[in-house]
Structure 1
Amino acid sequence: MTGGSDQVRVAVVGSANLDLVVSTPTLPRPGETVLGGALRTIPGGKGANQAVAAARAGARCDFLGAVGQDGFADQLRANLADAGVDLRRLRTVPGPSGVALIAVDADAENLIVVAPGANAELTSLDADDRAAVEAADVLLCQLEVPLPAVTQASRWGRSAGTTVVLNAAPARRLPAELLDAVDVLVVNQVEAAMVAGLAADTAVDALLDALLARVPRVVLTLGARGAGYADRFGLRLAVEAPAVEAVDTTAAGDAFTGAFAVAWAQRRGPVEPATVTAALRWACAAGAACARRPGASTALPSRDEIDTLYAESYPESS
């Protein structure tokens, strides 16, 4: 593993959705109907997934989010609680909980549409939320809840010395007020182009240069090809992902991001190639372990599973 044995604390500001998942031979094209398999209902949402991922990876995790007044909310709460996530900052608001409609094809690729529901009501945070953010080693945010809450939490984190990690998904252009508070931006190549305001086929180095004009550190996720890292201080590197037989990649990115937040918090000493490489490899092992099983939160790996795949895939690091 990348750090010491002390339990780190991660605060997550983000969404909780119930995923309605159907497996299909192929993903539908515009105007096309395809027949799928059985419907599965699985707790998800990028925020909740990353909170569960961080908790299973060994962190003490606080979740700041919202669910509705419906039966889905009970499933979402139970899933988080079962993973050991602290739910004292999870609100219940009028109306439905968030829902994601997900199709997964035979190649483990997916298509996702999200109805935000209660997540859209998380427009501001309070003093107790601020205390949770300021007590954390890492604040982890995504973009499935309103930007004002993400920005508010990130600025609190920056002022308190909490490391602010932003997974900029779903992708969009972001205000300077938010990016100025981010310590590490985690994006895939499509998200990187959107945040940078560049074409999707822009070369990776040009994307990184554009993003580093806005944030000090960037982690670029590359799926089965691994991940890259760049910072304003001259460090750039890439790691390969473990080779696994992927069954469902729906939550692999969330597994990566949650595990990366834990690994980064456990990092000791300065930001050096060895410590960054270890953190990225451990996060890649988490993403790969997740992709071996179907589902979202139900597929997120334990710390032992991550450690095992990490040791098998990167024996020189163990």
Structure 2
Amino acid sequence: MNRVIVVGSVNQDVTVKVERHPLPGETLTGNGLSYRLGGKGANQAAAAAHAGVETVFVGAVGADSTGDSLRDELAMHDVNMEHLATIDTASGSAFITVAANGENTIVLDPGANGQVASGALDAITDLDSSDVVVLQGELPLEVNIRSIKIAAKVNARVVWNPAPAISLSDIDLTAVTVLVVNETEAGIALDVKVPEGIEAALEAAEHLRALGPTAVLITLGEKGGVWADGTSNGHFPATKPSRVVDTTGAGDATVGVLSAALAKGYSFPDAVAEGLKAGSAAVENEGAAASYSVITPLA
């Protein structure tokens, strides 16, 4: 069916702008307070939908006004919410500060995301090998592990972006099609510190492939990203944005569009290129999913 099916988190992003990030124990005055759709799962679903692929979201919101707002905002991005549950608890929230240079810090309260059932993907009874299942790290680990197994039963492709990062050394990744991490997350996944630089990142990508996934993408921010797929590897420089306003959600734009490209039949390197292009464009506007109007449908 060539869908992107995101099993993931949905949060309300509470964002405030500051000149610089506060030091420990320091209070700063900010401005521009905003409340927007967020959560890595919701962001990636929105990005995939903007890329022109049917996108289904599997997750949960709380039985509160925030949950109602999050449903409304997901609908604005044309994401299918048939499998978005409502749980009798608070919706997830993320508290974000964005500095003048566009860099952000985030504190997360998972709320309803922490209560998503491990077998949530079972609700997609027509899951098949043409679908791409997208996972992150903001749901309980057992949800991701079970989702990988469910996808493997029908040979659906799996894109896993384990962020917040965890060690992956003891996790079976053989059914993961694409593992996506940034430089810092790559080091945590491998239980080592990854030195800066393209060559070190390429080496880390090969080490991550040795853990089992078919292919790996390590995103490098303004330096683009490196990839490895077992037959080849490479580096794609970043497309230089016209301005940097807010980096929140740039990585999610990359994952969402990469997944959409795979669903449309793109080769892995070409899907990586499309994903990185979307991530670079997303930093030109405020917000996470709110910035994805720059993403255009893939051919």
The TM-score, its normalising length taken from structure 2, stands at 0.92
**Greater CA drift, 55-64 or 204-213:** 204-213
Cα distance in 2 for residues equivalent to 1:137 and 1:34:
46
Cα distance in 2 for residues equivalent to 1:136 and 1:144:
25
Q: Which residue of 2 aligns with 1:210?
A: 207
User: Could you tell me whether the CA contact under 8 Å between 1:186 and 1:220 is conserved in 2?
Assistant: yes
Cα distance in 2 for residues equivalent to 1:301 and 1:224:
21
Q: 2:253 aligns with which of 227, 252, 255?
A: 255
1:114 aligns with 2:108: yes
* Identity percentage of aligned residues: 37
CA deviation string 1:151-182 (max 9, x = no partner):
11111112211110001111011364552321
Gaps of 5+ in 1: 1-6, 269-274, 308-317
1:84 aligns with 2:78: yes
Q: Which residue of 1 aligns with 2:162?
A: 168
More helix, by proportion: 1
Q: Which residue of 2 aligns with 1:221?
A: 219
TM superposition shift of 1:192: 0.7
Letter in 2 for 1:78: D
User: Could you tell me whether the CA contact under 8 Å between 1:255 and 1:301 is conserved in 2?
Assistant: no
Q: Which residue of 1 aligns with 2:229?
A: 231
TM superposition shift of 1:231: 2.0
TM superposition shift of 1:132: 5.3
TM superposition shift of 1:146: 0.6
Cα distance in 2 for residues equivalent to 1:199 and 1:35:
35
The alignment covers a number of residue pairs equal to: 294
Q: Which residue of 2 aligns with 1:310?
A: none
1:284 aligns with 2:279: no
User: Could you tell me whether the CA contact under 8 Å between 1:11 and 1:136 is conserved in 2?
Assistant: no
1:301 counterpart SS class = helix
User: Could you tell me whether the CA contact under 8 Å between 1:139 and 1:164 is conserved in 2?
Assistant: yes
Q: Which residue of 1 aligns with 2:287?
A: 295
1:264 aligns with 2:262: yes
1:183 aligns with 2:181: no
TM superposition shift of 1:81: 1.1
Cα distance in 2 for residues equivalent to 1:222 and 1:36:
28
1:72 counterpart SS class = helix
User: Could you tell me whether the CA contact under 8 Å between 2:7 and 2:121 is conserved in 1?
Assistant: no
**Greater CA drift, 21-30 or 275-284:** 275-284
Q: Which residue of 2 aligns with 1:311?
A: none
2:63 counterpart SS class = coil
Q: Which residue of 1 aligns with 2:239?
A: 242
1:17 aligns with 2:15: no
Gap change, CA 1:103 and 1:127, over 3 Å in 2: closer
The TM-score, its normalising length taken from structure 1, stands at 0.87
CA deviation string 1:251-271 (max 9, x = no partner):
111111100001122235xxx
1:89 counterpart SS class = strand
TM superposition shift of 1:41: 0.4
Q: 1:98-109 to 2 correspondence within 5 Å?
A: 98-109=92-103
Cα distance in 2 for residues equivalent to 1:92 and 1:11:
18
Cα distance in 1 for residues equivalent to 2:294 and 2:172:
31
Q: 1:115-154 to 2 correspondence within 5 Å?
A: 115-126=109-120, 128-131=122-125, 133-134=127-128, 137-154=131-148
Kindly report structure 1 stretches of 4+ aligned residues shifted beyond 3 Å: 132-136, 174-178
